[in-house]
Amino acid sequence: MRCLHTFVLSGLLASGAAAFATMPTLSYPTTRTTNQVDDYHGVSVPDPYRWLEDDNAAETKAWVTAQNKVTYGYLAAIPQGPAIKQRLKKLWNYERYGVPTKQGGRYFFSRNDGLQNQAVLYTLPTLDAEPTVLLDPNKLSADGTVALAGMAISDDGKLMAYGLSASGSDWEEWKVRDVHTGQDLPDSLKWVKFSGAAWTKDGKGFFYSRYDEPKADAQLTKVNYFQKVYYHMVGTPQSADRLVYNRPDHKDWGFGTTVTDDGHYLLIDVTEGTDTRNRLYYQDLTTPGAPVVELLNDFDAQYSFVDNDGPLFWINTDLDAPRGRVIAVDITKPARANWHEVIPQAAEPLKGVHTLNNSFVCEYLKDARSQVKLYSLTGQFLSELALPGIGSAGGFGGKRKDTETFYSYTSFTVPGSIYRQDLATGTSTLFRAPKVDFNPADYVTTQIFYRSKDGTRVPMFITHKKGLALDGNNPTLLYGYGGFDISLSPTFSPAYLVWMEMGGVYAMANLRGGGEYGREWHEAGMKLKKQNVFDDFIAAGEWLIANHYTSSKKLAISGASNGGLLIGACETQRPDLYGACLPSVGVMDMLRFNKFTIGWAWMSDYGSPENPEEFKALHAYSPLHNIHPGIQYPPTLITTGDHDDRVVPAHSFKFAATLQAAQAGDAPILIRIETKAGHGAGKPTSKIIEEAGDKWAFLVQSLGMNPLLKTE
């Protein structure tokens, strides 16, 4: 019989500052400086740690080793660390399912039995049949660092094209597997990045996008330009792939491909970096040698192809509708005067559109939580799908004539559950529900709205144990992102559950720059208006303090990627406001982010250092360039991966070295550099648990927590 009991993790003093006295004295590695100075529009900007940008240099590798030795030594001295990781491992050990899809009369879904480093892909002919393993990435590497990065099933369900990523890199190798035998064919496609696979109707091959092969020593840092679209015929070498489309006159154009369900057209989604605007081209696949037609070429809005009925294309767009609408374009008479609005803009942003059961299934965000509505193909409202609660729903894959689809539902206290939706009857049934070792009824989630610096109303979710005392003494973790039109909505995480079990409050702010309220919300946090994002986040922390959830010494902040930039900027602007900071894989050097891999693509959101006005804005908030000697910065644990070729680790390296040199107080400035790990996608479960455990142990120490944890 299992018996759960509660024990107190002890040994910490009442305040984070006092707690440092119990830890070993930190001695940071010496980081060499140079006299590198750059001129930006007449402004001289020193860059003394430029040499850390060379990830292949022996000196950089030695620096990484020395920093990790200090960091892991400090973390190992925190006595509560092992118990935290034990509880994380216990909670993470639950069955997790991906949303099933159907192709060629077969179902495909992923499943993780709990602590597997990578989810396993299964297939089955009927829902009540015994699943068979189609691909187990855990068998591809001893440490679980090879991940399934993408897959596409041929229309007849017989072949699967799939991409593998190693050590967290964005580079993928694509292969082809026979679904029936589970065996790979000889096909191998390399130097693929930011691409899926779009099968032709006959199942003989697929379209994909790739880059030219980089030099060996620059694979993780070289700028990625000149993506090209190819067609690969199954059973032939990559060297025989047919070049379908490229634009040597536009090095920054990227291409995504889709083949319509009727097999008639190839759609080419033409992007410029991360700009939400795009172009939409097509090619008639029924006519050999047909040209690529530039259907929507004005680059004036976002155009997402939904489906087609012969030459009639349904498109989700924000043209003249910042929150999105659905239009119909007849490609035989494509002039704008002939366009027809099918579903008008609503009060809520339209985030996705699918065609199922000869109707539109539309996903909306209402104050950052999911809302799903059904419309006829002529735009008549039919019904709203009743979701299990206030949370996030996603999935709804399938073809226009399908009456069956699947979707996932999750919230801060509900693990991702899978539902089967019968669209003919309107019945939603629970298909798979994970069992996690906690009681959701013990927790409560509220959504509040606060005012930012300029008076803008900003939403924030707050989740914690029931019965929380608003005495200003609760350790609180505030999370944010705020960029690239990306929306944050409620989701379940064993890591945050452990945080709340330890008595912590978890808050998530929906900042400007994201997509929670459509294009206008996004644009209010872009380029020259990026400071709004930081103001929103700072105001969220101030609201939590003013409303007695926490205090500065108990408030920690966390974010990753663009969210890592958020943490770096807020830490350097308001070091007095926080008790600890956790910037992860962040963009910290806003003057050189465009020099590496895909960093140039972010200029659509950040602006360009080469533009004088945008340089002023970038320089004003760039975390690296706003660190000042003599300031007492809060305890900081920076995290990155040595194979991160999205936001190269040099950002974190230089930020850590500069912050360590400037720090006036005793609070630790540490950098944790994961090996064989990248930006985050495909990270093995074991590494995720280890990193989360180290972060929580760091916060326990920094915030002076005395947590309660369950253990067996």
Assess contact for 413 and 491: CB atoms under 8 A. no
Which stretches of 222-378 are DSSP H helices?
none
C-alpha–C-alpha distance, residues 248 and 274, integer Å:
19
Assess contact for 216 and 167: CB atoms under 8 A. no
Beta strands 505-509 and 476-479 are parallel
The secondary structure of 478-529, three-state, reads EECCCCCCCCCCCCCCHHHHHHHHCCCEEEEECCCCCCCCCHHHHHCCCHHH
What would the two tokens of residue 176 be?
A: 């082809």
C-alpha–C-alpha distance, residues 314 and 534, integer Å:
38
What would the two tokens of residue 127 be?
A: 């829902």
C-alpha–C-alpha distance, residues 152 and 643, integer Å:
26
Residue 426 has phi, psi (to 5 degrees) of 80, 10
Q: How far is CA 374 from CA 20, 128, 357, 367, 698, in A?
A: 56, 28, 10, 19, 47
Assess contact for 552 and 611: CB atoms under 8 A. no
Exactly one of 522, 604, 679, 702 is catalytic; which is it? 679
Assess contact for 211 and 226: CB atoms under 8 A. yes
Q: How far is CA 48 from CA 146, 546, 650, 655, in A?
A: 36, 40, 13, 11
Residue in the block written with tokens 């292949």? 56
Residue in the block written with tokens 């960029």? 483
- Residue 177 CA, distance from chain mean position: 28
CA angle 543, 548, 549 (to 5 degrees): 80
Q: What angle in degrees, to the nearest 10, is found between the helix axes of 650-662 and 58-76?
A: 60
Return the closest-CA partner of residue 673 out of 702, 697, 698, 648.
648
Residue 679: active-site member: yes
Q: CA torsion sign, 679 to 685 to 687 to 693?
A: positive
Residue in the block written with tokens 């767009």? 317
Partners of 309 in beta bridges: 312
C-alpha–C-alpha distance, residues 163 and 174, integer Å:
4
Q: CA torsion sign, 652 to 658 to 661 to 662?
A: negative
Exactly one of 487, 561, 652, 702 is catalytic; which is it? 561
Q: What angle in degrees, to the nearest 10, is found between the helix axes of 685-702 and 58-76?
A: 60
The secondary structure of 145-202, three-state, reads CEEEEEEEECCCCCEEEEEEEECCCCCEEEEEEECCCCCEEEEEEEEECCCCCEECCC
Half-sphere exposure of 612 (CA within 13 A, CB side): 3
Q: Which of helix, strand or coil describes residue 367? A: coil
Residue 209: active-site member: no
Assess contact for 594 and 221: CB atoms under 8 A. no
C-alpha–C-alpha distance, residues 321 and 262, integer Å:
29
Assess contact for 283 and 295: CB atoms under 8 A. no
Active site residues: 561, 679
